[in-house]
Structure 1
Amino acid sequence: MYSEKHFWFVLLLSLFAINQICCLVEFTNFKCTSFDKDVVDFEYCILKSINRTSKYVSAKIKVFKFPVKSIKVNIGLHQLANGYRPFLYNITFDGCKFIKNQKSNPVAKYFYEFIKDISNANHSCPYNHDFILEKLSSDMINSRLPKILPFPAGNYMFEAHWTANELYRALTKLYIYVS
């Protein structure tokens, strides 16, 4: 039979192995689409390489019809498996209500905290400015995401549908590789 020492050794070894599970995120592509260019359009939407392992994305969304009284965002994570299939997350939140009460949705709260330092997301509705996302780096994601939830290796797509004034206005897709 196994002794108590053997049990504790196996338990500690298992905990060490679990603690070492880690994943690294690398951006592979970034696509932005405007559905109504008279209302909103992308001035730029770029994926830029800093070096071989580090990249960042930047986007500037020009809004032509003000004010934007309601904003809804549908965020989904898709995994590549014979085409991109839904994986783990698919949430929709009201951006105006969320900006007023950031504790309303825990996942949305995490998303908001994640981008507020690199964008001008500190506004309330009605929204009357352009939206700028500057230099969201893969290093920034690697410092947060793998510590919260290690993902299986593979290709993923982070997709966001942007609705303003009750109509779909834009779609952003960030393609990533998790190793």
Structure 2
Amino acid sequence: MLALLFFTLLVLTSTEVEAKFKSLHCAAFDQDFGEFLLCKLKAISRLRNSISVQYKLKQPVSKIFIRLEFFKRANGWRPFLYNFTANLCDFLARNNNVIMGIGYAYLRPYLVKNYSCPFKVIENELLECKDFELDINNLRNRFPIETGEYALQLTFIAKNKAALTINGSIEYNNYREY
């Protein structure tokens, strides 16, 4: 009986959930607005990786919108859960969007500094997210998702046109589901 209990605890506490980034693509559409200096997916181990992004702003920005789109791969990429546009400056000032608030709280430890609007052009200062690792257990506490491949596209819109996009995908496996 003790052996059965020990075996059950071992199976339940073993690594059954695996998630890691599959891809990362950054594109700056307006080179006068700014440019990506770094857009990198870095392997930490076979099961873990991280993302680092650096963007150098060339113009001050007082009003910027962010379009957030989630996708799930199922016979091609299909829209999944959320697809909305919000004023990033309003959010940074008032924290007035629940979904963006959850994402920002999750991302905040990896941001080099706290950002606020207006974004000013300061020499040698970058908008930077450094060594962002996916914590799937923290993510699943708020968004229960099934096994599969998911993607996120962030489009930053300034002066009524897309200035830059960041696209990334993750692959998620929950071995308890099988």
Note whether the superposition's TM-score is higher than 0.5: yes
Deviation string for 1:2-37 (max 9, x for gaps)? xxxxxxxxxxxxxxxxxxxx8542111111011111
- The residue that corresponds to 1:135 in the other structure is 131
| DSSP 3-state at the match of 1:30 | strand
- Cα distance in 1, alignment partners of residues 127 and 170 from structure 2: 23
Q: 1:172 aligns with which of 162, 166, 170?
A: 166
Q: For this pair of structures, how many residues does the alignment match?
A: 154
- Cα distance in 1, alignment partners of residues 45 and 17 from structure 2: 19
Deviation string for 1:94-151 (max 9, x for gaps)? 111111101x11111111111122114622211115310101102xx32311122221
Q: Does 1:108 find its partner at 2:100?
A: yes
Is the CA contact (8 Å cut-off) linking 1:29 and 1:47 kept in structure 2? Answer: yes
Larger Rg: 1
Is the CA contact (8 Å cut-off) linking 1:28 and 1:177 kept in structure 2? Answer: yes
Letter in 1 for 2:66: V
- Cα distance in 1, alignment partners of residues 119 and 159 from structure 2: 11
| DSSP 3-state at the match of 2:92 | helix
Is the CA contact (8 Å cut-off) linking 1:39 and 1:64 kept in structure 2? Answer: yes
Shift of 1:64: 1.1
Gaps of 5+ in 2: 1-15, 174-178
Pair 1:93–1:121, CA change in 2 (3 A): farther
Is the CA contact (8 Å cut-off) linking 1:42 and 1:61 kept in structure 2? Answer: yes
Q: Does 1:117 find its partner at 2:113?
A: no
- Cα distance in 2, alignment partners of residues 108 and 99 from structure 1: 10
- Cα distance in 2, alignment partners of residues 115 and 146 from structure 1: 15
Pair 1:24–1:90, CA change in 2 (3 A): farther
RMSD of equivalent CA atoms? 1.6
- Cα distance in 1, alignment partners of residues 170 and 110 from structure 2: 19
- Cα distance in 2, alignment partners of residues 165 and 126 from structure 1: 14
Runs of 4+ in 1 over 6 A off after TM superposition: none
TM-score by length of 2: 0.80
TM-score by length of 1: 0.80
Shift of 1:154: 1.1
Aligned counterparts, 1:55-70, within 5 A: 55-65=49-59, 67-70=60-63
| DSSP 3-state at the match of 1:89 | strand
- The residue that corresponds to 1:41 in the other structure is 35
- Cα distance in 1, alignment partners of residues 111 and 23 from structure 2: 20
Is the CA contact (8 Å cut-off) linking 1:34 and 1:40 kept in structure 2? Answer: yes
Q: 2:25 aligns with which of 22, 31, 46?
A: 31
Q: What is the percentage of aligned positions where both structures have the same residue?
A: 26
Shift of 1:166: 2.9
